[in-house]
């Protein structure tokens, strides 16, 4: 597996809560998503569509996220810059499906 995935000593991937956000930061759905992330111990945030605008918000700095994964195509189309903690992927949807198929993961879409 790639360097941004951590395995437990038994070889299983850790349980994560996957949050897929496609709404802009000012939407009620985006605010609700960020509130749920605050309650998660192992959150991974996937940003696509207008969700990439959340990278412009300071709210992400206060969240404890295992990682932030962004769709390169959507990032470039909107002219948004990714931060240091952000993983930008060409195969964004492939990775999302792989992570979602992990039996230990839960997926929340907004």
Predicted confidence (pLDDT) per residue in 11-47, tens digit: 556 689 999 999 999 999 999 999 999 999 999 999 9
Per-residue pLDDT at 8 exceeds 50 = no
Task: List strand residue ranges (DSSP E) for the chain, in order.
Answer: 17-21, 43-47, 65-71, 86-89, 106-109
- Residue 42 DSSP SS3: coil
| pLDDT tops 80 at residue 6 | no
- The mean pLDDT value of the chain amounts to 87
Task: Specify whether domain 17-109 bears CATH 3.40.1260.10.
Answer: yes
- pTM listed for this prediction: 0.84
Domain ranges of the chain: 17-109
* Assigned token pair, 33: 């998503």
């Amino acid at each position: 597996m790639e360097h941004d995935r951590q395995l437990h000593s038994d070889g299983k991937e850790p349980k994560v809560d996957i949050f897929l956000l496609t709404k802009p930061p000012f939407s009620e759905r985006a605010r609700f998503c960020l509130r749920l992330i605050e309650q998660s111990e192992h959150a991974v945030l996937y940003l696509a569509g207008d969700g990439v605008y959340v990278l412009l918000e300071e709210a992400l700095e206060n969240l404890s996220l295992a990682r932030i994964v962004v769709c390169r195509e959507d990032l470039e189309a909107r002219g948004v810059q990714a931060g240091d903690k952000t993983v930008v992927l060409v195969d964004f949807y492939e990775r999302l499906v792989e992570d979602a198929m992990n039996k230990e993961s839960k997926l929340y879409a907004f």
